[in-house]
Each structure stands twice: as structure tokens, then as C-alpha cells.
Amino acid sequence: MKLYLTSQKKPLGSAKIKYSYVFKASYRKTNRTRATSFTGIGDEKALALIQKVGQQFNLPTTTDIHTAEEASIAAQYVDILQIPAFLCRQTDLLLAAAATGKIVNVKKGQFLSGPSMKFAVEKIKSAGNNKILLTERGNTFGYQDLVVDYRNIPWMKEHNVPVVMDCTHSLQQPNQTSGVTGGNPKLIETIAKAAIATGADGLFIETHPNPAEAKSDGANMLKLDLLEPLLEKLVRLREAVV
């Protein structure tokens, strides 16, 4: 399960923490190192489950799409279409997502700077869609690590769109020789606090009751029972810096 904490002061799905939540799950995982890695349970079945979560808990939902053809299909089930970082320059994909009329969240490529994301914004707007989010998720640092340049948050806000910080993918340690991506979840709180302090409008946090059993990204997930205490700290920090 992935969870966005956004800065809109609305009690969506939480009586304790008065901030909006968006539920995110991938209905299909296509960016995997090993051919034997888990990819999904079937597209329609997975999309229907994501939709069911949103309906049951009264939450907006989002999922990744990978090709232009997937945009109209996924748009029938979710509220926000997410463009994976590796695909943020794919013009056909961005235009197809924009054409659905859904909110489009574009993850900044690990190989791009914040200012360069203006072209992704321009592509989506050219299709008549102004409902855009940009997500920072770190930059490639050598072959097996990422580093977060927090200048990218104010730089991307200059494109006049909300900016989200991906607190868990930015702690990935990709391209391990085992074929399984590593991570450093102990720094999730640090990444999240710094993002709020530098003006992020929302946070993307992957969480799981037992990250060791997660089908993907377990190495950089936050254990579920640690989520609420972290969110309480972040809400207080947000109120202090706004």
C-alpha cells in the first residue's frame, strides 16, 4: 500500500489527522529487475480492488500507467493517473493520460532536474488538462544509490503545480547484484521532514504491515504501525512552516 499525505486541510478518511489521503497501489508492476519478480494478479482484477478500496474508505485512488493504451482503461477505476519516473518524457503516454481528464501525477525522472519538468507540464496542458502534480523521487547517484536534491521542490513549484515528495522510492538502492532493489527506510522520517520544511505540498509514503513480505519495494517501505506517529509529527511541522 502507498499513501499520499496532501496539504489540503480536509478530513478525508481520518478523524485524527485532518489532512487528505490518496490510496495508491500498482495494478501491474512492469519495471522489475528480474523476470521472475512478481508483476500482478491480473489487470482488471487489480484495478477493481483499487476501486473497491477507494469506495469502501471514501478515498481518492491512484495507480501507475505504462503505455498510452492503459490510460483510458485505468481512468475508469482511479481518480489520479501516475506516470512512472522512467516514463516521464514519453509524450504519447502524457498526452493519453491528459486526455482522460483525470489528475495526472508525473514522477520526476531520476535523470532529470526540477526545472526540466516544465516540459512534462507543458505536454499535459497542451492536451487541455491543467490538473497536474509533480513528484520528486531523488536522482541517480552512481550505479546503486539515489540522492535527494531539495532544490527541486521549489524549482518544480515554479511550474505552478503542486509538488509531492516520494519519501520511500527516494531511498531505494537500485541495481543490486541480487536483482532485488535495496533501500534505507530508517531515513524516511528525515526525508519527509526535510520535504515539508522545503515546501512540499504532499508526501508519497509506501507502507506495509510487514515490509519483508511485500511483493515489491519492501526494502524501502515504512512499517504500518509507524505511519500514524510519523504523520502526527509531519502535520505539526507543516503547521509550523506554513
The tens digit of pLDDT for each residue in 78-104 reads 999 999 999 999 999 999 999 999 999
105: enclosing H helix or E strand: strand 103-107
| pLDDT of 17 over the 90 cut | no
**Distances from the Cα of 216 to the Cαs of 17, 26, 85, 184, 220, in angstroms?**
28, 10, 16, 15, 9
pLDDT one-digit tens code per residue, 211-236: 888 877 778 889 999 999 999 999 89
Between CA 62 and CA 50 the distance in angstroms is 8
**Binning pLDDT at 50, 70 and 90, where does residue 176 land?**
low
pLDDT for 71: 97
| pLDDT of 203 over the 70 cut | yes
Between CA 84 and CA 135 the distance in angstroms is 10
Q: Give the residue, 23 or 172, on which the prediction is more confident.
A: 23
pLDDT for 10: 40
| Residue in the structure block whose three cell numbers are 485512488 | 61
Give the domain CATH number at 127.
3.20.20.70
Q: What is the pTM of this model?
A: 0.87
In sign, the C-alpha dihedral spanning 235, 233, 230, 203 is positive
Expressed in angstroms, the distance from the first to the final Cα of the chain is 28
pLDDT for 180: 59
pLDDT one-digit tens code per residue, 26-80: 888 776 566 766 666 788 999 999 999 999 999 999 999 999 999 999 999 999 9
Q: Where are the alpha helices (DSSP H) in 75-148?
A: 91-99, 118-126
Question: What proportion of the chain, given as a percentage, has pLDDT over 90?
Answer: 66
Number of domains observed in the structure of the chain = 1
Q: Which residues pair with 165 in a beta bridge?
A: 136, 203
Between CA 114 and CA 225 the distance in angstroms is 33
| 226 Cβ contact partners less than 8 Å away, ≥ 6 residues apart | none
Q: For 162, phi and psi rounded to 5 degrees? A: -65, 145
| pLDDT of 207 over the 50 cut | yes
| Residue in the structure block whose three cell numbers are 523476470 | 35
- The average pLDDT across 155-160 equals 97
The whole domain housing 28 covers 2-241
